[in-house]
Chains A and B, each alone.
Chain A
Amino acid sequence: MHAHNTHVETLAGKIEELTSQSVMQCYQCGKCSAGCPVRNYMEDSPNQVIRYVQLGFDDEALHSSTPWLCASCLTCSSRCPQNFDIAKFMDAVREVALEMEIDVKEKDVKKFHEAFLNQIKKNGKAFEFGMVREYKLKTLNLFQDVELFPEMLLKGKLSLLPHKKKDIKHIKKVFDEIK
């Protein structure tokens, strides 16, 4: 592990800028990890990821699968004795990883988010069928849940055409801003 020194360039600095909270607020009690519903699927516990950032082990944090497995349930943030918003921290780690084009471990999660956001970008609304189609093509998980599709179609729960927002220009503006 290699630790960084200058604050601005570090992950800690970037996260502080994005979340308006310092990672040094965390005193490593582990309550976040203790209550995390997805903890058993993670290699690094949430508090370990924070520790990486505290110590400047940025690569470890950016390549950890933990932020991508985080379900954003906010249990950690709501119970943190130091009022550190861990979920917001995880959001920021992902954001920086994407910005730095890190080859993240949890590719499916990343592709899911991309597919989801692409639909919003195009239609202004989430379009489940289009999203799933794009996700499947991206991940080649072609047969996942196919058994559910006929029933969903029959029940009218899966529309084959998107519901579109009429005026899409504001949506475009927001997306343009993050290019």
Chain B
Amino acid sequence: MRIGVFVCQCGENIGRTVDCPAVAEAAGRFPGVAYSVEYKYMCSDPGQNLIKNMIKEKNLDAIVVGSCSPHMHEKTFRKAALDAGVNPFLCEIANLREHCSWVHEDIVDATKKAIDLVRIAVEKVKKNTPLTPIRVPVTKRSLVIGGGISGIQAALDIANAGFECVLVEKEPSIGGHMSQLSETFPTLDCSQCILTPRMVEVYQHPKIKLLTYSEVENVEGFIGNFKVTIRKKARSIDESKCTGCGLCVQKCPIKKKAYNEFEENLAHRPAVYVPFPQAVPNIPVIDRTVCTYYQTGKCQMCVKVCGREAIFFEQQDEMITEEVGSIVVATGYKLYSIDKKPEESEIKGYGEYGYGKYKDVIDGLQFERIASASGPTSGEILRPSDNKVPKKIVFIQCVGSRDESKGFSYCSKICCMYTAKHAMLYKHKVHDGEAYVFYMDIRAGGKGYDEFVRRAIEEDHVKYIRGRVSRIYEEDGKYIVRGEDTIAGKPITIDADLVVLATAMIAQPNAVKLAQTIGMSYDKYGFYNEAHPKLRPVEVSTAGVFLAGACQSPKDIPESVAMASAAASKSLVLFGSDFLEREPTVAKVNESVCAGCFYCQKVCAYNAIEKKEIKDRKGNLVKVIAYVNSGLCQGFGTCNAVCPSKSVELIGFNDEQIYAEINAL
């Protein structure tokens, strides 16, 4: 074997603490090394050309590059080797930067260590064999989880590119939180007016399979080849028969038993209901917890009025399996509630704001419904307790956000903007009303955002008070709000008619469960982690899974939409080829010695170990052994380490190769 050694100075990064010429010189004397050289930037174009040229000129059949971590440039150097006709897996990296120059100070010792590291790599590469990447087929369909604006956008982008898409939404209708909003900042255009055309487009799209009132139960497989199990919850309505005429909803005698979730509990809904008039699909659901039929077996009013015999009391949940190549997670957020929390909870709720006992202390989404023309007050600003027009309204920002003691330390990002919008909408509707906003900082970074806040202050005369509110209590139908203006240094007490709390955006309650189902990591708040905060913001560490919207962190509509399109385009990149290439450094079972103990299966974090039956020629079962699904295997090697009969080999890192490395020391 003729091995070439290429030592990189990485400018000063390696060169400062490692004597690179000495390393190259020493490497030149290692058995099997035909050529060695050092260079300032091996990853640069001339550096790569040096490798390519020397491979040809010196007739090298394997190379070792002493440089930065293989995380950085292994790909670059392998590509250079391939271009010069050497199998990329006959290229080894000795990490002279992160493992050596960056962590040592003494040049003599560091140089010694660098020489050792190169020697190890040389011994390893001698045992390497040419490998070819694994090719796996790609299922060119996508699953989008969550039917809010993010999920809708992602599904439409994928479908409009010509690929099939399954959109799963847990509620009876798509639309998400955006469908609840009145107007949107900073343009004040009507939220439903811009959203509903997209909802209809989803419904009518031939490439989109819409599964509402459904939840993802299980995900198996790997990038390009996921198998997803979805629970389609029983609506108790036969969707194929229902025309959405709404007679059952009108005639249902249960009027006050259940709160209307879409109206944020500011109104009631019948037992059989459609969440809101523009719901997609426009098919009702029966809430079995309040429907008289399910309690007593009587009533059946809906059955009587339905001309299509679409009421289906005995309907069962249905399990649906879908095969997809990529998954877009767009599950959105929930709002923090100020209610008292269980003692073991890290969050506390706000006792000083009454733990939710005051009817006219509401949250931002409730105000959206009150301000919305389709809401319970038809857009007239009326307070919940007595339906009177509030003449004095107080908005409090950062409730639950930026509060380590009772909530979360992060900023919910959108509250500054929507509070300004709320105050503005209020002033536009109640001309003689007074609006106060308690804030800590005004975070209005975004196109036209700060101008919007200034407009609220300068044109609509919303009074901004810099300080947090300490206490709210009720007195004679007013809400006494005790705050401090920290700019004036004066205490301020306001007798408000209505108080709106901009509560924190928090992760969905089942966010962690879904993360575990799919194999995504999440932060301590339950928001999903992106693969890299700068360069891979819509990917997760599991290949083929992408993020969109507020499930990753609080964000507003344009950001969510942009992220959704990014996630869709990541899926489309995947669908651009028929096959995926994967690293061949995966585990392999020696079938003749495997005893079938399946310790490997227990320790594998990727569910990559399967059971394989070995049969004789007559078809009789001889034994059951382990089998590695190379599509799922990430080459972690835990199976290799635990196997008692040493039947698992990690290709590219087999025992022989590792021993060669150790013996080199």
Contacts and interface: CB of A to CB of B under 8 A. Distances in A.
A35 B398 CA distance: 17
Given A45-B486, A79-B352, A31 B470 contact: yes
B484 A45 contact: yes
Given A30-B483, A30-B486, A39-B484, A81 B491 contact: no
A82 interface: yes
Contacts of B126: none
Nearest to B491: A39
A34 B470 contact: yes
Given A39-B484, A47-B484, A47-B486, A33 B491 contact: yes
Given A27-B440, A29-B467, A45-B489, A34 B482 contact: yes
Contacts of A45: 484, 486, 489, 491
Contacts of B466: 30
Nearest to A46: B484
B468 A75 contact: no
Given A35-B482, A45-B484, A82-B405, A75 B489 contact: no
Contacts of B469: 31, 34
Given A30-B483, A30-B484, A81-B403, A35 B489 contact: no
A123 interface: no
B486 A29 contact: yes
B471 interface: yes
Contact of A81 (B402, B471, B482, B492): B402
A39 to B, nearest CB: 5
B322 interface: no
Nearest to A84: B405
Contacts of A31: 467-470, 484
A120 B203 CA distance: 80
Given A45-B489, A47-B484, A29 B468 contact: yes
A33 B469 CA distance: 9
A44 B440 CA distance: 19
A81 B406 contact: yes
Contacts of A36: 470, 491
Contacts of B467: 29-31, 33-34
Contact of B440 (A29, A32, A34, A39): A29
Contacts of A83: 404-405
A15 B471 CA distance: 28
Contact of B484 (A34, A80, A81): A34
B634 to A, nearest CB: 41
Nearest to A31: B468
A48 B398 CA distance: 21
A80 B471 CA distance: 12
B576 to A, nearest CB: 48
A75 B352 CA distance: 10
Interface in A21-45: 27-36, 39-40, 44-45
A25 to B, nearest CB: 9
Interface string B448-483: 000000000000000000111111000000000011
Interface in A52-88: 75, 79-83
B396 to A, nearest CB: 11
Contacts of B352: 35, 79
A79 B349 CA distance: 11
A130 B55 CA distance: 99
Contacts of B470: 31-32, 34-36, 75, 79
A52 to B, nearest CB: 12
A127 to B, nearest CB: 37
A63 B212 CA distance: 66
A30 B489 CA distance: 9
Nearest to A48: B489
Contacts of B404: 81-83
Nearest to A77: B405
B468 A81 contact: yes
Interface string B381-404: 000000000000000001000111
B405 A28 contact: no
Contact of B486 (A33, A75, A79): A33
Contacts of B483: 30, 34
Interface in B275-329: none
B551 to A, nearest CB: 25
Nearest to B469: A34
Contacts of A40: 491
A27 B440 CA distance: 9
Contacts of A81: 398, 402-406, 468
B405 A30 contact: no
Nearest to A25: B404
Nearest to B407: A81
A83 B407 CA distance: 11
Given A29-B486, A45-B486, A34 B405 contact: no
A35 B352 CA distance: 10
A33 B404 CA distance: 18
Contacts of A35: 352, 470-471, 482
A34 B489 CA distance: 10
Contacts of B440: 27, 29
B335 to A, nearest CB: 18
B219 to A, nearest CB: 38
A22 B440 CA distance: 20
Given A27-B440, A30-B484, A81-B403, 4 more contacts: A32-B470, A80-B405, A81-B404, A81-B468
18 contacts: A29-B467, A29-B468, A29-B486, A30-B468, A30-B486, A31-B468, A33-B467, A33-B491, A34-B469, A35-B352, A35-B471, A39-B484, A44-B489, A45-B486, A47-B484, A79-B405, A81-B403, A81-B406
3 closest Cβ pairs, A-B complex? A35-B470, A30-B467, A34-B470
Interface of B: 352, 398, 402-406, 440, 466-471, 482-486, 489, 491-492
